[in-house]
Structure 1
Amino acid sequence: MRRAHEALVAAAAAVLLAAAVVSLRGKRKGASWVAFVRPWRTQESRENSPPRQRKASRAGPREGVLGAIGNTPLIRIRSLSDATGCEIYGKAEFLNPGGSVKDRVAAKIVEEALESGALRVGGVVTEGSAGSTAVSLAMVSLAYGCRCHVVLPDDAAIEKTQILEAMGATVERVRPVSITHKDHFVNVARRRALEARLADSAPELQLYDLAKQDPQLEKKLDQHVKNRASAVHDFDAVNSSSPPPFEEPLTSSDSAASRRAAEEFAMSLEKEITACVMAGATDGSDVKIGSFSEELRVMPEGEVTADMGSVELQSREVCRDGMSSDVLSSSGQGRGGYFADQFENLANFRAHYEGTGPEIWVQSGGKVDAFVAAAGTGGTIAGISRYLKEQNPQVKCYIIDPPGSGLYNRVMRGVMYTREEAEGKRMKNPFDTITEGIGINRITENFKQAKIDGAFRGTDKEAVEMARYLMRNDGLFVGSSSAMNCVGAVRVAQMLGPGHIIVTILCDSGARHLSKFQNADFLAAQGLTPTASSLEFLSLRKPA
């Protein structure tokens, strides 16, 4: 009996010793022994946890270049924080793989277009962009197996064209004109998408001769033609329409009879579309077949849509003659076109509402007093402001507006511009500004989503001085919009006073601004050579 008792005591001692060893090992690794016996969390509980409770950083390898987009660091800008007494943070979007905040927008636009069927793999994405969106779209399009065609004004920095061409995009530079002009770079990009979509409809021509013997097929084709013709009056509807239902394009190997039938069908369709378009055209509209007018003139509002008739006719020329356009591959085999439309496409807003905003909230620990940024498309300020205010209605959101933009007046006075300043009444912005990608004189669908408390005006001189100041004091080499955003951050700090946390966006680096904003000779010619040694250009002095 005694031996049995001793055995039980020895066994108990052994168990206690083992538990002590496990506990000590756990403590050395920063965990308690409970961790060794606690059940693992279920996959369901992990998936149901709120997004704001998840870490902003993603551990482990990511899937390709698309996986590297987002989750950029939130960095403290030391010099501005010390000078203002506030904590000023910049979201380092220049660390995205494409070098700018627009990577998020491009990825969201292309992703949603592919999911909806408006874009197919192998198709061409077109955009009119004077900023970083073009570079981001070129990168993202390739990653998704698509092509990219970019139209930009010929006064944009030349290095942007060089980068785009190096990335495999086709680039079209046009003269700067009013947004209501048919040859504004955004309208040209819209036309190119329409051309690609209609050129890709060549396969349906091949089947027309078969339709003559099949009443059911002929009926379907006729309905398809009517649907396409009706879309001409609203060429924004191009992207929302379903892609052409036929996969294989018409090639030179097809029989002569089939090609004659295709030409006959194209000519009949051309007449139908022309009748639709010209029914609303006004005298003086510039409808031509096979070429666009090189004469640049401001068109009265209302003529722009009617003038798009030339697009339809040209596209049918491409189909009928078996030729390829610049936006098609060299083999002439297109997969349709999609106009990214970053200004009005709400995928832009969603990219920041679902991505950038939540990241800022997590990385700041939910401690944000104010957010400020310039606006171009309006997607960044809209997505981030709406998300932050949903988390805390006390967060203040502001815009910093560059010269010539009407958003300051819109926010502060409720009036965007005088009648004489409307974009349809002038060839170009009457104020010269060297900032790129920010400022606008119309309200976009993206900007309508914004929750804004106020606005500040910024100048080119302030942006240039800020860029030089950040380089010398923080080692931050930023572009024009990033510099303007930092001007806005200081303005907000001056208004709120010390002790506040202010966040802004560092959109891109100065690498894409070497010919203008970061070029000493160019700045000297504009009378913008930076001279400040501290923040006196913003009525602040660097602390001793």
Structure 2
Amino acid sequence: MSLSDHPRAYGTAAVALAFVAGVLMTLGFKDLYPDLERRFQQRKVQRRARRGTEGRRSSFFWGPVELQDRESLDIAVPGEAQIPRDNGISEGIEGCIGRTPLIEIHSLSEATGRTILAKAEFLNGAGNSPKDRVALNMIQAAEKSGFLVPGRGDTIYEGTVGSTGISIAALARAKGYKAHICMPDDQSLEKSDLLHHLGATVERVPVQPITSPDHFVNLARRRAKEHTESSADSSVGFFADQFESPFNFEAHFKTTGPEIYFQTSGRVDAFVAGAGTGGTISGVAKYLKEEAKLKNLQVVLADPQGSGLYNKIRHGVMYSSTEKEGTRRRQQVDTIVEGIGINRITENFEAGRDLIDNAVRVTDEQACKMARWLVEHDGIFCGSSSAVNCVAAVVAALSLPEGSQVVTVLCDSGARHLSKFWKNIAAMGLEDEPKPDNLLTLLSIERPR
């Protein structure tokens, strides 16, 4: 018997056909048309940025897609950069780098009346700092050019105060290279101990000005050259050159900046970060201002005492109006803070210098008190550069209208700073004092009038 001869069967088939069509329209739309979906998501993020809200679009066709936009990591963002998708299984230690959480630091938000968010870069999985992004990008660029070849016996040389060296050492082992790290001897012992455990050769050298051939960066460059010239086999010495390599700020332009844009739906009123090499602040600033076109964004440098970058941003000179840059043989920056602060302009800092709107100078005392505050109020155990960033984020937030949103960076854990920074906090008696309840009074920060 045909369907046309049986009304009930005909009706059932029609209902089934309509059901299948409805499912395809509502649930399969983005799978059938992925390019259309990406364009839709990008327009939606841009509209949210203009509105400054998280509003939800109600639509019969697009409603099911809306539910996925915080979990999907394949959303288009301005420019060529894309947030990579994690399908559940990542390829080795490299899969643990990037896509770090953006967390609200509640106590700082409450103290300022503005939302203060921090990129949890200490959760990068190789070296547990933002330098993972830089090290990976520099190594990949050298591999792409054919300079580094896995398994040939090549060695990566770098001059670093610790974090970049740790990231390089971890990735070098994973990718078939050796690591040779030169670092100043005034850095915490935890860093050089960790480097040893990661299989790196470590040279701790006396502190020297950059003009000296024995400065830790110049020494690493020389060691790489000596390796290549004296190698009995075909192996080479690769000097990563984090301070001047364009692949440093490029790593943050390609990943950190787009991630911040995605995580905030484009609503960032200020970005605050310190500078050692300058890669983080330049890369993120270039992405958010030039690529994402956030024209009202304020980029603020967080600078520790003794560094010359504050004066360079605020007054156009490194030291004073009577002294030319580079004419004085200065030692390491006079601060307990490690990882940020410098008395010269690197290529990475120069790449984004014109995009930096302001600078905040942070004293060692303020950094120590902020670090202790974050433990007491937020359970965040951070290192010295993270504490500097947070102090500057508070100052920057207070200069903005109430309700503004500020993003900064938590660089690494306090576990890497026990013998120096946290030892100093204990010596100041901060761990024995009652829990402070007024952040601005604690840090001697006045509200703008």
User: Which range, TM-score by smaller chain?
Assistant: 0.7 to 0.9
Name the structure 2 match of 1:51. 76
- Kindly provide the CA deviation profile for residues 354-395 of structure 1, in whole angstroms up to 9, marking residues without a partner as x: 010000000111111110111110000000011111211111
1:81 to 92, 109, 114: 109
Q: How does 1:61-460 map to 2 (within 5 A)?
A: 61-97=89-125, 98-121=127-150, 122-200=153-231, 202=232, 249=233, 335-390=235-290, 391=292, 392-418=294-320, 425-429=328-332, 432-450=334-352, 451-460=355-364
**Per-residue Cα deviation, 1:164-193 (whole angstroms, up to 9, x for no partner):** 000000000110011111111111111111
Q: How far has the Cα of 1:58 moved from its partner?
A: 2.2
| Contact in 1 for aligned 2:372/2:430 (Cα 8 Å) | no
Compute the RMSD of aligned alpha carbons: 2.7
CA gap of 1:123–1:46, structure 2 versus 1, over 3 A, is: farther
**In 1, Cα distance between the equivalents of 2:230 and 2:164?**
25
After superposition, the Cα gap between the structure-2 partners of 1:6 and 1:124, relative to the gap in structure 1 and judged at 3 Å, is closer
Aligned length: 397
Cα distance between partner residues in 2 of 1:104 and 1:85: 32
- CA distance in 2 between counterparts of 1:85 and 1:335 reads 57
CA distance 1:47–1:119, change in 2 (3 Å): farther
Work out whether residues 162 and 192 of structure 2, in 8 Å CA contact, stay in contact via their aligned partners in 1.
no
Q: Deviations over 1:17-45 (max 9, x none)?
A: 4357669xx8xxxxx45347759436777
Taking a change above 3 Å as real, the CA distance of residues 16 and 184 of structure 1, as seen in their structure-2 partners, is: same
- CA deviations on 1:166-225 (whole Å, 9 max, x unpaired) are 00000001100111111111111111111111112x4xxxxxxxxxxxxxxxxxxxxxxx
The whole-number CA distance in structure 1 between the counterparts of 2:27 and 2:159 is 58
Larger relative contact order (Cα-Cα within 8 Å, sequence gap ≥ 6)? 1
**Alpha-carbon distance between aligned partners in 2 of 1:406 and 1:514, rounded to the nearest angstrom:** 26
Do the aligned partners of 1:371 and 1:397 also contact (CA within 8 Å) in 2?
yes
Q: 1:428 to 1:17 in 2, by over 3 A?
A: same
Q: Give SS of 1:477's match.
A: coil
Which whole-Å deviations, capped at 9, do the CAs of 1:30-71 have from their partners, x for residues lacking one? xx4534775943677789987318666623111000121100
State the alpha-carbon separation in 2 of the partners of residues 87 and 529 from structure 1. 26
Contact 1:374 1:400 in 2 (8 A): yes
CA drift of 1:449 comes to 1.4
Structure 2 counterpart of 1:34: 25
What is the SS of the residue equivalent to 2:103?
strand
Distance 2:112 2:38 in 1: 41
> Structure 2: where are the runs of 5+ without partners?
43-74
Aligned letter for 2:388?
Answer: M
Question: Which shifted more, 57-66 or 105-114?
Answer: 57-66
Q: Is the 8 A contact 1:56 1:359 kept in 2?
A: no
CA contact (8 A) 2:38 2:76 kept: no
Structure 1 residue 135: Cα displacement? 0.3
Letter of the 1:124 counterpart: T
Task: Quickly say closer, same or farther: Cα 1:142–1:15, change in 2 above 3 A.
Answer: same
Distance 1:5 1:147, change over 3 A: closer
**TM-aligned CA distance change 1:523 to 1:423, over 3 Å:** farther
Structure 1 residues 144 and 4, CA gap change in structure 2 (3 angstroms): closer
Q: Secondary structure at the match of 1:457?
A: strand
Quote the Cα distance in structure 2 between the aligned partners of 1:449 and 1:539.
Answer: 33
CA distance in 1, matches of 2:91, 2:28: 34
SS at match of 2:347: coil
CA distance in 2, matches of 1:537, 1:374: 21
Distance in 1, matches of 2:178 and 2:306, equals: 34
Q: Judging changes above 3 Å, is the alpha-carbon distance between structure 1 residues 424 and 371 closer, same or farther for their aligned structure 2 residues?
A: same
Match of 1:499 in 2: 403
* Identity level (%): 48
Task: Quote the Cα distance in structure 2 between the aligned partners of 1:113 and 1:170.
Answer: 20
- Relative to structure 1, the CA distance from residue 159 to residue 55 in structure 2 (aligned partners, 3 Å threshold; closer, same or farther) is closer
Shift of 1:529: 4.2
CA 1:45 to 1:117, structure 2 compared with 1: closer, same or farther past 3 Å?
farther
Larger radius of gyration: 1
Residue 10, structure 1, aligned to residue 8, structure 2: yes
Q: Is 135-144 or 99-108 further displaced after alignment?
A: 135-144
In structure 2, distance between residues paired with 1:166 and 1:423: 37
When normalised by structure 2's length, the TM-score is 0.82
Aligned counterpart in structure 1 of residue 416 of structure 2, from 503, 512, 522: 512
Alignment equivalent of 1:483, drawn from 387, 394, 401: 387
Q: Measure how far apart 1:539 and its partner are.
A: 4.3
Does the 8 Å CA contact 2:275/2:281 hold for their aligned counterparts? yes
Q: 1:161 to 1:37 in 2, by over 3 A?
A: closer
Q: In structure 2, what is the Cα distance between the partners aligned to 1:37 and 1:76?
A: 35
CA distance in 2, matches of 1:529, 1:421: 40
CA distance in 1, matches of 2:285, 2:221: 29
User: In 1, Cα distance between the equivalents of 2:430 and 2:326?
Assistant: 30
Matched residues in 2 for 1:20 and 1:51: separation?
33
Q: 2: CA distance between counterparts of 1:415 and 1:180? A: 19
Which residue in 1 is equivalent to 2:371?
A: 467
Contact 2:207 2:331 in 1 (8 A): yes
Q: Distance in 2 between matches of 1:180 and 1:39?
A: 58
Q: Which one-letter code corresponds to 1:376 in the other structure?
A: G
* Structure 2 counterpart SS, 1:61: coil
Which amino acid in structure 2 is aligned with residue 117 of structure 1?
G
Using a 3 Å threshold, how does the CA distance of structure 1 residues 38 and 78 change in structure 2: closer, same or farther?
Answer: closer
**How far apart are residue 396 of structure 1 and its match?**
1.0
CA distance in 1, matches of 2:37, 2:96: 23
Separation in 1, partners of 2:33, 2:133: 31
Q: Determine helix, strand or coil for the equivalent of 1:470.
A: helix
CA distance in 2, matches of 1:4, 1:376: 80
